Structure 1
């Protein structure tokens, strides 16, 4: 799986298991994530690639803005709770 900035991902391992993030930066080993609340763009979380699951391939156009990141994650969460379904492996718009 190719990770790119702006993708929506879910953490599969660690203390933050189940949390939804937007990818900010991609490194050879690690991916840097933000959720706009606890993990802002300035204090991005470093996570191993194998501990992430892509849940939405569409790119958030302004992934460097905390407000845009919060809105993207909350809109996905509202959509997910309205459908009352399990998280799909990969969703494309």
Structure 2
């Protein structure tokens, strides 16, 4: 089953299971059909992304541009602020 077919790098997601339930993240990398790497810039920073199953996430339609010159955790926190 291809779960990651409609997902994009930079797409906003919210966790529905686990210790981080209810937290908003952004997708940094799609690993395979079932797993992603996600960050929020606060607890999960760019240097230590969280590996998460797609079925444990709510998917938003919004996409954050991650192709900026100086991508850092502060930029991600600012972009995710309206979702929390």
Q: Give the TM-score taking structure 2 as reference length.
A: 0.80
Q: Which one has more relative contact order, counting CA pairs under 8 Å at least 6 apart?
A: 2
In 2, Cα distance between equivalents of 1:4 and 1:65:
19
Tell me the equivalent position of 2:10. Answer: 6
RMSD (Å), alpha carbons: 1.6
Tell me the equivalent position of 1:34. Answer: 39
Relative to its length, the structure with more helix (as a share) is: 1
Tell me the equivalent position of 1:86. Answer: none
Across the two proteins, how many residue pairs are aligned to each other?
76
User: How far apart are 1:18 and its partner, in Å?
Assistant: 0.6
Indicate whether 1:54 and 2:64 are aligned. Answer: no
Structure 1: which 5+ residue stretches go unaligned? 78-93
SS of aligned partner of 1:58: strand
| Runs of 4+ residues over 2 Å off in structure 1 | 62-65
Q: Give the TM-score taking structure 1 as reference length.
A: 0.73
